Amino acid sequence: MSDAQVSLFTRIINREIPADIVYEDDQCIVINDIAPQAPVHMLVIPRKPLAMLVDAGPEDKMVMGHLLLVAGEVARMRGVDEAFRLVINNGAGAGQTVFHLHLHVLGNTQFDETNLATF
């Protein structure tokens, strides 16, 4: 991967850029979002640099499932396991700004028609 292709999240994973790390293991890292859209807003980021969800293939089935399990675990750790939202933006048209697959875990807020698409 060339330097032009290295994402912000890869640089965080490689400890080139500081982040507020909530959890990490051999397959992913979880950080607090620097521009939270909810009182609890974490990003679950796979170590494997997939640009978008649609770039995942059959070989990524295990890591994709792992990301969901980790999302549930960090929601539980932060006390929002009874009510949280998971969001994956796929492509610029869907609001993706960093092209390294990541899941938004949003909790401790009421979601209604006015704030569903604000992240």
CATH number, position 39: 3.30.428.10
93 within a domain of the structure (yes/no): yes
Number of domains in the chain: 1
pLDDT level of residue 6 (50, 70, 90 thresholds): confident
Please tell me the distance from the alpha carbon of residue 65 to that of residue 105, in angstroms, as a whole number.
Answer: 15
The whole-number average pLDDT for the span 79-102 is 96
* pTM > 0.85: yes or no: yes
How high is the mean pLDDT of the chain?
A: 91
Contacts of 115 (CB under 8 A, 6+ apart): 37, 109
The whole-number average pLDDT for the span 55-69 is 97
Model confidence at 114: pLDDT above 70: no
What one-character DSSP code corresponds to residue 106? E
119 within a domain of the structure (yes/no): no
Domain extent for 102: 3-107
- Catalytic (active-site) positions: 102
117 within a domain of the structure (yes/no): no
115 within a domain of the structure (yes/no): no
Please tell me the distance from the alpha carbon of residue 65 to that of residue 6, in angstroms, as a whole number.
Answer: 24
106, with CB counted inside 10 A (0-12, 13-18, 19+), is: buried
